[in-house]
Amino acid sequence: MNLTKKRWFILVACCLINLCLGSIYAWSVFASGMADYLTNLTGTTITNADLAIVYTIANAVGPITMISGGWFNDHFGPKIVILIGGAMFAAGMIISGFATSIPFLIVSYGLVSGLGLGMAYGSTISSCVKFFPDKRGLIGGITTAVYGMSSVILPPIVTVIVQNSDATTAFKAVGIAFLIIICVCALFIEKCPDDFVPDGYTVSKGAGPANVVNMTWNQMIKTPIFYCMMLLLMCGAFSGMMIISQASAVASNMIGMNAINASLAVSILALFNAFGRIVAGSISDKIGRAGTLTISCTISIIGLLLLYISNTGDVVTFMIGLAIVGMCFGSFMGVFPGFTADEFGPKNNSVNYGIMFIGFAIAGYFGPTIMRSIYISNNSYNNAFLIACLLNILGIIMCLLYKKFSAKKNVA
CATH of the domain at 328: 1.20.1250.20
199 within a domain of the structure (yes/no)? no
Predicted confidence at residue 205, as pLDDT, reads 43
Same domain, 101 and 189: yes
Domain finish residue from 146, 162, 194: 194
Predicted confidence at residue 209, as pLDDT, reads 45
pTM, 2 dp: 0.81
Selection from 144, 34, 145 nearest residue 93 by Cα: 34
117 within a domain of the structure (yes/no)? yes
Same domain, 143 and 225: no
Same domain, 394 and 276: yes
Same domain, 186 and 219: no
The number of residues making up the chain comes to: 412
* Three-state SS at 207: coil
Same domain, 20 and 138: yes
Q: Which amino acid is at 95?
A: I
Q: How many CB atoms lie within 10 A of CB 305?
A: 15
Domain finish residue from 163, 194, 225: 194
Predicted confidence at residue 1, as pLDDT, reads 67
**How many whole angstroms separate alpha carbon 364 and alpha carbon 194?**
32
Predicted confidence at residue 339, as pLDDT, reads 94
202 within a domain of the structure (yes/no)? no
207 within a domain of the structure (yes/no)? no
Same domain, 185 and 218: no
372 within a domain of the structure (yes/no)? yes
200 within a domain of the structure (yes/no)? no
Stated as kind and residue range, the H or E segment containing 378 is: helix 358-378
**How many whole angstroms separate alpha carbon 260 and alpha carbon 72?**
44
pLDDT by residue, tens only, the chain of 412 residues? 688 899 999 999 999 999 999 988 778 778 888 998 999 998 888 887 788 889 888 988 888 888 888 888 888 889 999 999 999 999 999 999 999 999 999 999 999 999 999 999 989 998 898 899 888 889 989 998 898 888 788 878 888 888 888 889 999 999 999 999 999 999 999 988 888 889 887 765 444 444 578 899 999 999 999 999 999 999 999 999 898 877 878 898 899 988 778 878 888 888 899 899 999 999 999 999 999 999 999 999 999 999 999 998 899 999 999 999 999 999 999 999 899 999 999 888 888 998 998 998 899 889 988 998 998 898 899 999 999 999 999 999 999 999 999 887 765 5
* Number of domains, the chain: 2
392 within a domain of the structure (yes/no)? yes
Predicted confidence at residue 412, as pLDDT, reads 53
Domain finish residue from 130, 163, 194: 194
Predicted confidence at residue 203, as pLDDT, reads 61
Same domain, 278 and 145: no
Same domain, 185 and 249: no
Same domain, 286 and 399: yes
Backbone angles phi, psi at 77, to 5 degrees: 100, 160
Same domain, 243 and 184: no
292 within a domain of the structure (yes/no)? yes
Same domain, 180 and 231: no
> What is the domain range of residue 93?
1-194
Alpha carbon distances (Å) from 84 to 69, 74, 126: 9, 15, 16
Same domain, 240 and 171: no
Instruction: Indicate the DSSP class of residue 313.
Output: T
3-state helix, strand, coil in the chain (%, to 5): 80, 0, 20
